Amino acid sequence: MPHFDLPPEQLRNYRPELAEPADFDEFWSTTLAAADAHDLHVTATPVDTGLTLVDTFDVRFPGYGGSPVSAWLHLPARRVGPLPAVVEYVGYGGGRGLAHERILYAAAGYAHLIMDTRGQGSSWSVGDTPDPAADSGGPAHPGFMTRGILDPHTYYYRRVFTDAVRAVRAVRVLDAVDPARVVVTGASQGGGISLAVAGLVDDLAAVMTDVPFLCDFPRATTLVDTLPYAEVARYLKAHRDHVDPVYRTLGYVDGVSHARRATAPALFSVALMDDVCPPSTVYAAYNCYAGVKEMREYPFNNHEGGQGFHDREKLTFLRRVVPAPPAG
Amino acid sequence: MPHFDLPPEQLRNYRPELAEPADFDEFWSTTLAAADAHDLHVTATPVDTGLTLVDTFDVRFPGYGGSPVSAWLHLPARRVGPLPAVVEYVGYGGGRGLAHERILYAAAGYAHLIMDTRGQGSSWSVGDTPDPAADSGGPAHPGFMTRGILDPHTYYYRRVFTDAVRAVRAVRVLDAVDPARVVVTGASQGGGISLAVAGLVDDLAAVMTDVPFLCDFPRATTLVDTLPYAEVARYLKAHRDHVDPVYRTLGYVDGVSHARRATAPALFSVALMDDVCPPSTVYAAYNCYAGVKEMREYPFNNHEGGQGFHDREKLTFLRRVVPAPPAG
Amino acid sequence: MPHFDLPPEQLRNYRPELAEPADFDEFWSTTLAAADAHDLHVTATPVDTGLTLVDTFDVRFPGYGGSPVSAWLHLPARRVGPLPAVVEYVGYGGGRGLAHERILYAAAGYAHLIMDTRGQGSSWSVGDTPDPAADSGGPAHPGFMTRGILDPHTYYYRRVFTDAVRAVRAVRVLDAVDPARVVVTGASQGGGISLAVAGLVDDLAAVMTDVPFLCDFPRATTLVDTLPYAEVARYLKAHRDHVDPVYRTLGYVDGVSHARRATAPALFSVALMDDVCPPSTVYAAYNCYAGVKEMREYPFNNHEGGQGFHDREKLTFLRRVVPAPPAG
Amino acid sequence: MPHFDLPPEQLRNYRPELAEPADFDEFWSTTLAAADAHDLHVTATPVDTGLTLVDTFDVRFPGYGGSPVSAWLHLPARRVGPLPAVVEYVGYGGGRGLAHERILYAAAGYAHLIMDTRGQGSSWSVGDTPDPAADSGGPAHPGFMTRGILDPHTYYYRRVFTDAVRAVRAVRVLDAVDPARVVVTGASQGGGISLAVAGLVDDLAAVMTDVPFLCDFPRATTLVDTLPYAEVARYLKAHRDHVDPVYRTLGYVDGVSHARRATAPALFSVALMDDVCPPSTVYAAYNCYAGVKEMREYPFNNHEGGQGFHDREKLTFLRRVVPAPPAG
Amino acid sequence: MPHFDLPPEQLRNYRPELAEPADFDEFWSTTLAAADAHDLHVTATPVDTGLTLVDTFDVRFPGYGGSPVSAWLHLPARRVGPLPAVVEYVGYGGGRGLAHERILYAAAGYAHLIMDTRGQGSSWSVGDTPDPAADSGGPAHPGFMTRGILDPHTYYYRRVFTDAVRAVRAVRVLDAVDPARVVVTGASQGGGISLAVAGLVDDLAAVMTDVPFLCDFPRATTLVDTLPYAEVARYLKAHRDHVDPVYRTLGYVDGVSHARRATAPALFSVALMDDVCPPSTVYAAYNCYAGVKEMREYPFNNHEGGQGFHDREKLTFLRRVVPAPPAG
Amino acid sequence: MPHFDLPPEQLRNYRPELAEPADFDEFWSTTLAAADAHDLHVTATPVDTGLTLVDTFDVRFPGYGGSPVSAWLHLPARRVGPLPAVVEYVGYGGGRGLAHERILYAAAGYAHLIMDTRGQGSSWSVGDTPDPAADSGGPAHPGFMTRGILDPHTYYYRRVFTDAVRAVRAVRVLDAVDPARVVVTGASQGGGISLAVAGLVDDLAAVMTDVPFLCDFPRATTLVDTLPYAEVARYLKAHRDHVDPVYRTLGYVDGVSHARRATAPALFSVALMDDVCPPSTVYAAYNCYAGVKEMREYPFNNHEGGQGFHDREKLTFLRRVVPAPPAG
């Protein structure tokens, strides 16, 4: 059944009763404070992509535990004054890709930073940021979803969300960027990370989150058997005695809880035939989102969502909230 | 078996004995002459894509039978003098897409024309060019491969290849373009069309053809059961009495025969696990190609081929054969 | 879940609130009037099938736009006086087949006309009727469901339904046929066409429609992802901006609306595990059907429905409503 | 790979070195003699199918062990003198079907007997003949291929082939039939049974065997993993210690050995993409067939073979070897 | 959807209204009385498994119709006095296996009898007990589910359940066994048989039934399309006219009805993602079970259920209800 | 094609020309020396499994980098003097399982140690040994095959093979074990590890390796697209520029090279339909194995291999090379 989830009118009102760990906010403030104890030393090395309209830099900044995180920075070759910036997080399995691959926001006049996701980057796009924490080697189901999942302190996404917050801090110290006009974005895992950053950083100019992953875990993990949510279920299929600690840990990561704390203006998208990040889980985050928000629905799409049609929506939204200066 | 085709060393020497229709050249010269009898009236209307570094135009030119064919033209927003141009043809099922979707060559300083494929453009990317010839309604298997296939004069790809030659002619009459430096490119169906244009137009600056489709039909249609080659087999599964006329018609379209007539410098790519356009059929065209040529092999890829890695190769190749002027 | 649709008791009462275009009746009367402006010149050429008990003729009559439509006519070799006639429409993708393939109704003593579906006939059975209207070449998803779908006037099924009405008119002018005793029938697409003809022609002797396709599009296109309904969804997956015009066009074709206008006695069949033409969409047409009606339910069948078991039901039903004369 | 078997030119010369059990002929002559010890009492009860051109009878005759085997007999309703007869065996899993379902040969003027396959008839078509031998309950993989397979005397196909020979004897005692003009036919399992009968009965008028099953077991069971050949492999996957007795038993059934003994004129068909009864195994039987023979090749078909196209060939072949009298 | 069945809270209260044949109890008492008319002659032959801690015997006892049924008996090599015994029935398709394969209960100090399932034992594990009743050869869909299904007296599971009751009687006559402490167990089909035995034998010490099969047929056969339940649906897909007799026969076998009559203490297990024996059908039996009962739920498992985790539960349960003596 | 690999007679002689890194032996001697610098402190804690015939201990010993590796030790509850020992390594994805799950070798009178595979143990069986090396977090495709693969020093299997050698050393220091009679065994990954240990430890009593994984990587990774070999291909599908370093690293792990150095008597098994560890790669190791060796072939099995049938072979082989003492 292509519309396998709730009927549209129920989706638009779906709001799960999701318990939150009592120390949710303390957990994250402690975590970020520890990361911020590391100096924010950012390097940006120019690379030759063969493109003449866009300048690209290989960026490195210290993330969780101070270990280096890679990113690409794209800027219009001709630019005047500090630019509004878009910080982008990547979908599950991928990395920041090759230096010339994603230049849309720069072509629209923005500074654009694309962050690697630690450990990922060996499937649909490449990356080269390791996840050298000792915790990364704990017994886990193949993939990243269950690494260190028995304790929120060792859980993989604790490190990733911390990197993501640090990426916002890193982009703000760049000369080319206006620190008051930073937008975060991403699709799928990148959308889930965007929501977390929106909840953890309080002065973003906007959030654009597409078909976000990592939302409403109790529903997602029993509603679909597609990867990557299914990694959790497959882990629990083996470790029948780990159900409680696993869901406890996921409570610190759930995008619904982060959305409740986020206040920047937000543009969401959802696909009604999405069996990877099912629409009810996206609406769960949307309906709980604490800031001004807009939704775009794609009724006949699976997880690819709106693609170019939605990029058009995002360029329009961006132009509205953080207009880029005219081309230099 | 991922390496299901010939072993690499045999691939590199594979050269099929492919019979050609006796009137192959006459068929195509007559066809193109008929198309060229229609005035080459080209229109280019600016569109607002939201991008500031690239100017985009909605182009229309008369193709086969004089009926209008749509294309996007992308130019660097700041440009000086006529530019070398890249004419791109699209993969099977897709269309030219949305106006902002493919700006890589413009970002590298080139004029870039992306042509719709008539009738296509309702699956992975959109298009809006109809195929209004009466022949297009003949009984056929779903898809485009068997439309009008019982006679080379009514066959679908006769019309498409004619459009593609006309696109080269159209780009050459644009002010922004240097007509002596036109390169054709495309992947899969777009690669097959590129080979045909390379055989039918004798003064191209270069050809870049990736994992080309429409090559060595007798082998392709019995070696793989994947779409779109399988459309031919499925048609013949029903019409058991049409085998001879079908293969006769395909003889006019086969990229191996067009390659034998092509002389522009060429860059090919092939993927050794490609079960859509199997590597032997790509090497069949490559080994028969009459001009100077280079091949890039991707041993662990299916039909996606080299993707960003190969775009890098293509930008380098382009810079070598038709360097773009420095950014304005 | 094999019984994936509504539970049986809900199916039997399911009646969708389906909006109809205001000009539905005018659209069709204008369309049919235009077709009827073409002379009804019917030809019937004897063919040698190798069968001695049945005489078969290759029939051609002018359909939509006056273009020729092919059909087979089967008659008992020994016959006395004009016979009641069965006009049959074919399932999606197929054609009228070979001359000897479907002789059941003739073996039961009836005149039997099997009409080609224009453009189809290259998959499970063969056909040779083209769809030469210029509209047939519009950009479309592979298959026939989305050809010309942006406007009801260019839509493929406008032409097919017109051919089907003309087939009834054609069979009535044959000497061998009693024009007062014409029954229409078909399965799947053929069942959907039968319903449309039942709504558009008001003096049929009966209708026998099996697991009909083309009914309750809003439900069908979001309930199943199987072909051919899924062609609509796949088209809209690409053309995210065409949802409204597509559903407007389908409103003129929907079997539910045609059923509301049909009055001939009808025999329906439905399969409760049918994931191609889901049972709720069949019951939608049945429950709205305006004439006397009977349903046969096949609880453990998918789209194959009742097959030989239901042919038995149909022969019995036919014998009741239009008894054939004793064999000559 | 659609052409997964040997290349066409090798197929046409493929002739396996297949060992035969030393007592092959004795085994079968003893088996048939035991069956023939049962009186050949044949009953034929008229049934009302609703068809007026064909008379149908429910036939029962004593098969292996004297237990009753069901069949349909179809005759032209108007007939003059004894007719040539076609005895048909059914494909795997099916039964003789419903009484009105297969009337092609009767419509062409022949007597036609369709035999049930004992125990089968609960999947694609129905049957009602049990296999009441005690041997039928031996441990076996689901399906019929491994029932009693540890000993040729208890093997399922010993009983089936015996029934099939008895069906020829039964049809010959019917008044309506000319015993000198009996043809056997069948597709897949029915084709394999036809070959066996052709080897076991020496005065048939002709054999028409389509894409025959049960040929060249050592190759078939390791070349394809499709049912029903795969039942043997799945049995041996469990019973790793039964390889030798299984292949010994199959040696008595193999169509290649039966073909070596057959002398009636034969029409074969083969499909080059057939992954159920792979083309090499069909050619194995064809190339070893001892009588005059013809082959029809269907290069783009899987196990469906030539279907209506081949029925046309068969009607022509029949007309040549046993012309039916003109319709009465 | 992994949790495709009812939500957990509804599962735990699901209790189908399942009609029972009026003569259910009489049917079974008559059946068992007939079997018990055969002398209970049990043989036990030692076999060398290569294991030194466990003694294994090849057991044979007369089952339904007096025909011999095979089983393995495992005993601790060092043992003192009569032991409590576990009688185990096997999952669908399998047999008792090889002599050394299942020694867990013996290693825990119990006598352990594993019974072959007649006719089965040629897929995931081997067996060698035939089902020589003449009824076993009736027309049926491949597999065992529809053998003789048109009449409860000829139905396959009538014979199997009778064997299973006789196995309990057989183990009780062995010297090594304490007849007052016999427990029955099994998973899937083995679980369904256990439930039937629990209803048919009134003095068992306990029942341990895991993810039982053969429960709530009306729901199971329309809720899942997986084997083996789907064998019933596939049979009815062909035999559209056999729905009523099939469900009537299944009424004598349904585990829900047997559970209503069972009184021994019971341990059940259920897997919430089980699409072979769906959780509602397991809860149907559990909620109707007449004795003291406990359930273990495995929320992330399919039909494999609790595996080693549940074996641990079963060893604990066994130790509680029938403690084994200390090792000798 | 079930027999998709080389024909049996070619398999039995297949011997790849596999280049070895020049410093292969030095690499491993340095690696093991570093591990052996850690004290071999082995702990063994009794656990209550509920089994009375077998005593089980939770063992921990320092592996690669000195980090703790878990294992189960099973001993016959009654035992006399030091026992011959079987050290078992586990298949890909699994862990040592639960304490009561694998007691076959203990039931046959042997000491039996089952080692966890670091990081694994969250799919088909559970484990709890982490892989805390910083290298374990490098960018990798999901799974373990490409962790740290760009350098042999950081590669995952360097750590695993070191653990495995240390397990042999650990078992030898146990009182219950006779250090002169240690056998290693395992299936699939466990078989590949066994081969490596056989090459790295020179005084083993025997090796029993079943359908070993990790052999002849250049062939395996292009011959099958099944997991886990396909993890390498999927990594290279993304990282098109890493082909050379990846194959260089795999050269240190390849079971063919380890087999060339192994001298203990060996029992191999191979399955001819194995598409996970294809038979040619198993024979590659077998044919290069330097010691006395025997092979068991399972012609109709996929990767499950001989299962219980082969356990029987292994018990017999063990009894021959290291007879267990009679039960105490």
- For residue B317, give the CATH number of its domain: 3.40.50.1820
C66 at interface of B, judged by CB pairs closer than 8 A: no
CB B289 within 8 A of CB B259: yes
Task: Give pLDDT tens digits for D48-61.
Answer: 999 999 999 999 99
- Whether residue D137 and residue E119 make contact (CB cut-off 8 A), yes or no, is yes
Is chain C touching chain F, with at least 3 CB–CB pairs below 8 Å? no
User: For the residues C167-180, what does the mean pLDDT come to?
Assistant: 98
Total of domains in chain C: 1
User: For the residues C113-135, what does the mean pLDDT come to?
Assistant: 95
The residue type at F8: P
CB A167 within 8 A of CB A69: yes
- Whether residue C136 and residue B139 make contact (CB cut-off 8 A), yes or no, is no
Residues in E touching D125 (Cβ below 8 Å): 238
Q: Residues 116..135 of D with a Cβ closer than 8 Å to C: which?
A: 125
Token output for B37: 């009898």
In angstroms, the Cα distances linking F226 to A120, F142, F146, F276 are 21, 14, 15, 6
B309 at interface of F, judged by CB pairs closer than 8 A: yes
The 10 Å CB-count burial string (b at 16+, else e) for C302-311 is bbbbbbbbbb
Residue with tokens 């773009």: B324
Task: Give pLDDT tens digits for F214-245.
Answer: 999 999 999 999 999 999 999 999 999 999 99
CB E266 within 8 A of CB E294: yes
Q: How far apart are CA A194 and CA A185, in angstroms?
A: 6
In angstroms, the Cα distances linking D4 to B5, B273, C207, F38, F279 are 12, 17, 46, 56, 20
Catalytic residue among D74, D141, D258, D303: D303
User: For the residues B244-269, what does the mean pLDDT come to?
Assistant: 98
Q: What ipTM does this complex have?
A: 0.97
B218 at interface of C, judged by CB pairs closer than 8 A: no
Confirm whether residue D92 is marked as ligand binding: yes
Task: Give pLDDT tens digits for F154-198.
Answer: 999 999 999 999 999 999 999 999 999 999 999 999 999 999 999
Shortest distance, CA D232 to any CA of chain E (angstroms): 10
Token output for F153: 């020093």
Residue C272 has pLDDT above 80, yes or no: yes
Task: Give pLDDT tens digits for D5-40.
Answer: 999 999 999 999 998 999 999 999 999 999 999 999
Please give the model's pTM, rounded to 2 decimal places: 0.97
Of E76, E78, E100, the CB nearest to F311: E100
F48 at interface of B, judged by CB pairs closer than 8 A: no
B328 — pLDDT class (breaks 50, 70, 90)? low
Domain presence at residue F298:
yes
Q: How far apart are CA B107 and CA F166, in angstroms?
A: 57
Tell me which residues of C are annotated as active site: 188, 274, 303
Shortest distance, CA E168 to any CA of chain C (angstroms): 37
Tell me which residues of B are annotated as active site: 188, 274, 303
Of A293, A292, A268, nearest to A282 (Cα)?
A268
Of F1, F298, F301, the CB nearest to D223: F1
A240: three-class secondary structure by DSSP: coil
- The angle formed by the CA atoms of residues E55, E56 and E62, to the nearest 5 degrees, is 140
What's residue F102's pLDDT?
97
E236 at interface of C, judged by CB pairs closer than 8 A: yes
* Beta strands, E only, D38-131: 43-47, 54-62, 68-76, 83-89, 111-115
Task: Give pLDDT tens digits for B50-101.
Answer: 999 999 999 999 999 999 999 999 999 999 889 999 999 999 999 999 999 9
What is the DSSP-derived secondary structure letter of residue C325?
P
D269 at interface of B, judged by CB pairs closer than 8 A: no
- The H-or-E segment that residue D308 falls in is helix D307-321
Of A224, A234, A240, the CB nearest to E298: A240
Residues in F touching E101 (Cβ below 8 Å): 308, 311
In D40-136, alpha helices (H): 104-107
Residues in A touching B98 (Cβ below 8 Å): 308-309, 312
Domain presence at residue A254:
no
Q: Sign of the CA dihedral A94, A100, A104, A109?
A: positive
User: For the residues F76-82, what does the mean pLDDT come to?
Assistant: 94
Catalytic residue among E188, E257, E269, E280: E188
Residues pairing with C60 in the sheet: C43, C70
In angstroms, the Cα distances linking C4 to A1, C271, E223 are 8, 12, 8
F320 at interface of E, judged by CB pairs closer than 8 A: no
Domain presence at residue E194:
yes
Q: How far is residue B315 CA from its own chain's centroid? A: 18
Q: How far apart are CA E134 and CA D131, in angstroms?
A: 8
The residue type at D123: S
Task: Give pLDDT tens digits for F103-158.
Answer: 999 999 999 999 999 999 999 999 999 999 988 888 899 999 999 999 999 999 99
Domain presence at residue E150:
no
Q: How far apart are CA C273 and CA E223, in angstroms?
A: 11
Q: How far apart are CA F57 and CA F55, in angstroms?
A: 7
Host domain of residue A100: 8-13+22-130+157-212+262-321
Domain presence at residue E44:
yes
B325 — pLDDT class (breaks 50, 70, 90)? confident
Q: What average pLDDT does the structure give for chain E?
A: 97
- Whether residue E139 and residue D128 make contact (CB cut-off 8 A), yes or no, is yes
Residue with tokens 């049926």: E140
- For the packed helices B229-238 and B243-250, what is the interaxial angle rounded to 10 degrees? 160
Annotated binding site of C for substrate: 92
The 10 Å CB-count burial string (b at 16+, else e) for B69-101 is bbbbbbbbbebeebbbbbbbbbbbbbbbbbbbb
Of C107, C312, C319, the CB nearest to D53: C107
D233 at interface of F, judged by CB pairs closer than 8 A: yes
CB B262 within 8 A of CB B291: yes
Q: How far is residue E113 CA from its own chain's centroid? A: 13
Closest Cα in chain C to A310: C240
In C251-278, alpha helices (H): 255-260
Token output for C149: 């779908």
Domain presence at residue F146:
no
Domain presence at residue E139:
no
Task: Give pLDDT tens digits for A206-234.
Answer: 999 999 999 999 999 999 999 999 999 99
Token output for B139: 């009984």
Closest Cα in chain A to C276: A1
In angstroms, the Cα distances linking B275 to B143, B228, C125, D301 are 19, 11, 28, 20
What's residue A327's pLDDT?
65
Task: Give pLDDT tens digits for C83-110.
Answer: 999 999 999 999 999 999 999 999 999 9
User: For the residues B100-118, what does the mean pLDDT come to?
Assistant: 98
Phi, psi of E142 (to 5 degrees): -50, 140
F206-210 and F177-187 strand pairing:
parallel
Report cis status (omega within 30 of 0) of the bond before E46: no
Of A196, A4, A237, A208, nearest to A87 (Cα)?
A208
Residues in A touching E210 (Cβ below 8 Å): none
- Write out the DSSP string of B18-56: ----TTHHHHHHHHHHHHHTS----EEEEE--S-SSEEE
E303 — pLDDT class (breaks 50, 70, 90)? very high
Q: Which of F5, F240, F274 to mutate to test the interface with B (most CBs of B within 10 A)?
A: F240
The residue type at D150: L
B327 at interface of A, judged by CB pairs closer than 8 A: yes
Closest Cα in chain C to E3: C1
Q: Which residue pairs, CB below 8 angstroms and at least 24 apart, start in F233-237? A: F233/B2, F233/B273, F233/B300, F234/A122, F234/A123, F234/B300, F234/F141, F235/A122, F235/F140, F235/F141, F235/F145, F235/F146, F235/F149, F236/B299, F236/B300, F237/B273, F237/B300, F237/B301, F237/B302
What's residue B136's pLDDT?
84
Q: How far is residue C5 CA from its own chain's centroid? A: 23
- The angle formed by the CA atoms of residues A305, A309 and A314, to the nearest 5 degrees, is 90
Residues in A touching C230 (Cβ below 8 Å): 2
Q: How far apart are CA A167 and CA A64, in angstroms?
A: 11
CB E129 within 8 A of CB D139: yes
What is the maximum span of chain B, computed from C-alpha positions, in angstroms?
Answer: 61
- Whether residue E139 and residue D132 make contact (CB cut-off 8 A), yes or no, is no
Shortest distance, CA A156 to any CA of chain E (angstroms): 22
Domain presence at residue A145:
no
Of C53, C109, C326, the CB nearest to D107: C53
Ranges of chain A whose pLDDT falls below 70: 327-328
Q: Which of B52, B80, B322 to mutate to test the interface with A (most CBs of A within 10 A)?
A: B52
What's residue C266's pLDDT?
98
Annotated binding site of A: 92
Shortest distance, CA B103 to any CA of chain A (angstroms): 8
Number of Cβ within 10 Å of residue E38's Cβ equals: 15
The 10 Å CB-count burial string (b at 16+, else e) for B212-223 is bbbbbbbbbbbb
pLDDT above 90 as % of chain B: 95
User: For the residues F261-267, what does the mean pLDDT come to?
Assistant: 98
Active site residue F303: yes
